[in-house]
Amino acid sequence: TGTLTENKMTVVSASIASKNFLKSNEMQRWRYQVHPAALDLAIEGISVNSTAFEGRDAEGQIKFIGSTTECAMIEFARKLGYSYQDQRAASRSAVIYPFSSSVKSMTTVIEVNESNVSSPDRSEYRVYTKGAAETIIKACTHYMDVRGCVVPLDRSTREEQEMLVNSYAERSLRTLALAYRDVDKPTFEEFGPDDAPIHNLVLLGIIGIQDQLRPGVVESVQAFRRAGVFIRMITGDNLVTAKAIAKECGILTAGGLAMTGPEFRALSHREQYDVIPRLQVLAQVAKEASDIILMDDNFNSILQALKWGRAVNDGVRKFLTFQLTVNIAAVVLSFISALMSEKSESILSAVQLLWVNMIMDTFAALALATEPLSDELVRRKPLRKDAHLINWRMSRMIFGQALFQIAINLILMLHGPALFGLAQDDTKVLRTMVFNVFVFLQVFNELNCRRIDDRINILRGVTHDHIFLAIQALVVVSQFLIVQYGGLAFKTVPLTSVQWLYTIGIGSLSIPAGILIRLLPNQLPFFWSENNDDEFNHEISYPRLYWETA
């Protein structure tokens, strides 16, 4: 639950010696209703049985440093007019048993002197314990009543205390119990160095601590649901508290189950198999049971991780779609043009192919794999585990664009002189124009590859993709310099402005070709695995034509 909440604790309810307040604005009136002896013992326990202390943050502001729960308790004592420094100065710690997740408590033994709070059963040593309410209540045999007297903790009173804990938990409050025990020196000497003496305690009261949900948690949970991610809360907290927080943030829904770890482990494998689909909250489970632990303890980080995972997967697919298209087109075009040439020369020179390879590898990887994260990434269902890296949509675009580019360039090779008004022997200009057309086919096809679904609006979000725009501009400027000034090195000649318009216009045909390819049927050929169909979950054909929803 700490992943979902701000981890800024505040005491908003408490019950000391059977006197309680339910709202923080009732605290000051409440302090005068509690028996002074009980309140003094509780505050002394809060002060000495704690590692929190007062310090300054990076900005020089005074704040409590330590466990957020202990800081909330110290702040609670301060609001009631007590000084934890004075309480600690008056006490001498004999043994400290640090907080343990196994017993869910912390215990401190102090030597009782004249400066310490008196109790009905004053002895040489006093044990102060705080911890999970349900654990501490079980360890108590007595409690302090409204008169400040220590009386046996009978069954009905124990049930009342447990009901109070549940009422706090139902309000999403974390509950702590405070207890103490006075012991003589022989009993103290029997205490072990490791195992805290959590037995025969006197219950002082229950504290309810509020921890608000982090901003954006509810929205993140809703985003996960839209993304097809099933959320389960696994926590070490009390089951009632966990359920209340899960309901508040939207994890626990109608029909969902909430269980404790021991209850779940007690089920048979068959029963666990039946329960898991509806299990939404699993309480009283150690963090060590997890496979992955968030280092920043922020639930929203999981959503960011999901976005990054999908963005990386999409980036790889976009890059593969672009790269395989260029590879197929360049290899086939070079091979066919070499066969058609009297000198067995490819229409694209080795240096030109090297430049195309830079566009295909380095620049394309940077342009297509660095698109900013968007909420669109979590508006779709997750990929199936058996989904192919190259799906039918990608294959359709790869082969469709490659065939289109090969056809365009072969037509220019054969009929270029007639189309552009060139002399039959003006091969240098023709080769330069074919090279220019080929490069601009890749430039515009890179826009096509920004989307690997069937939506038409390939420009969506392009103005926010600054790296993509910068790389496209770099490629276009570099291509202009290569054509106009590459000369002998690139085997090019300068083109006229009209020839530039022709080649750019022909290259831009890659975009309408991409639209036509996207409108082809989504049904897979018989030879393709049927399990590879539409991992983006059956987008119907008509809505994908709408520009606004593309």
Please write the tens of the pLDDT for every residue from 339-368. Answer: 988 777 888 889 999 998 888 788 888 888
Higher pLDDT, 56 or 485: 485
Taking only the tens place, the pLDDT of each residue in 434-488 is 999 999 999 999 999 998 888 888 888 888 889 999 999 999 999 999 999 988 8
Residue 275: predicted pLDDT: 77
Q: Using alpha carbons only, what angle is made at residue 447 by residues 441 and 451, rounded to the nearest 5 degrees?
A: 130
Please report the sign of the dihedral spanned by the C-alpha atoms of residue 370, residue 372, residue 374, residue 378. Answer: positive
Residue 300: predicted pLDDT: 74
The least confident of 74-83, 169-178, 417-426 is 417-426
Q: How far is CA 23 from CA 13, 30, 46, 117, 130, in A?
A: 6, 10, 20, 27, 22
> Do 111 and 183 form a contact (C-beta atoms < 8 A)?
no
Residue 357: predicted pLDDT: 87
Question: Does domain 10-210 match CATH 2.60.40.2310?
Answer: no
Read out DSSP for 479-523?
A: HHHHHHH-HHHHT--PPPHHHHHHHHHHHTTHHHHHHHHHTS--P
Higher pLDDT, 535 or 223: 223
| pTM score above 0.75 | no
Residue 297: predicted pLDDT: 62
Residue 143, phi then psi, degrees to nearest 5: -145, 165
What's the mean pLDDT in 265-277? 79
The confidence band for 136, taking pLDDT boundaries of 50, 70 and 90, is very high
The closest of 386, 377, 507, 525 to 452, measured between CA atoms, is 377
The answer on pLDDT for 234 being more than 90 is: no
Residue 538: predicted pLDDT: 39
The closest of 530, 381, 366 to 453, measured between CA atoms, is 381
> Do 200 and 141 form a contact (C-beta atoms < 8 A)?
yes
Higher pLDDT, 161 or 384: 161
Residue 379: predicted pLDDT: 77
Residue 523: predicted pLDDT: 64
Could you tell me which residues are beta bridge partners of residue 142? 152, 202
CATH of span 307-374+385-545: 1.20.1110.10
Q: What is the 3-state secondary structure (H, E, C) of 270-313?
A: HHHHHHHHHEEEEECCCHHHCCCCCCCCCHHHHHHHHHHHHHHH
Mean predicted lDDT score pLDDT of the chain: 84
Please tell me the total number of residues recorded for the chain in this structure. Answer: 550
DSSP 371: P
Residue 499: predicted pLDDT: 93
Structure tokens at 205: 């009261």
What's the mean pLDDT in 426-433? 89
Structure tokens at 252: 């626990």
Q: CATH topology of 217-289 equal to that of 307-374+385-545?
A: no
Residue 439 to residue 57: CA distance in whole angstroms = 58
Q: How many Cβ atoms are within 10 Å of 469's Cβ, its own excluded?
A: 13
The least confident of 153-157, 356-360, 487-491, 538-542 is 538-542
Residue 539: predicted pLDDT: 37
Residue 549: predicted pLDDT: 36
What's the mean pLDDT in 186-210? 90
The least confident of 72-86, 204-218, 227-241, 369-383 is 227-241
Structure tokens at 248: 């508040």
Residue 533: predicted pLDDT: 45
Question: In this structure, are strands 125-132 and 92-100 parallel, antiparallel, or unpaired?
Answer: unpaired
Structure tokens at 228: 């097809």
What's the mean pLDDT in 394-412? 93
| Residue 522 exposed, middle or buried by CB count within 10 Å (0-12, 13-18, 19+) | middle
Tell me the three state secondary structure of residue 20.
strand
Residue 548: predicted pLDDT: 33
What's the mean pLDDT in 533-540? 43
Taking only the tens place, the pLDDT of each residue in 17-27 is 989 988 888 89
Residue 221: predicted pLDDT: 83
Residue 226 to residue 372: CA distance in whole angstroms = 20
Instruction: Write the single-letter amino acid at 453.
Output: D
The answer on pLDDT for 42 being more than 90 is: yes
Residue 54, phi then psi, degrees to nearest 5: -90, 135
Rg (CA), the chain: 36
> Do 76 and 46 form a contact (C-beta atoms < 8 A)?
yes
The answer on pLDDT for 420 being more than 90 is: no
CATH of span 217-289: 3.40.50.1000
What's the mean pLDDT in 419-445? 89
Residue 542: predicted pLDDT: 33
Residue 289 to residue 282: CA distance in whole angstroms = 12
Taking the domains of the chain in order of start, what are their residue ranges?
Answer: 10-210, 217-289, 307-374+385-545
Residue 132 to residue 106: CA distance in whole angstroms = 10
The confidence band for 390, taking pLDDT boundaries of 50, 70 and 90, is confident
The least confident of 99-103, 266-270, 378-382, 541-545 is 541-545
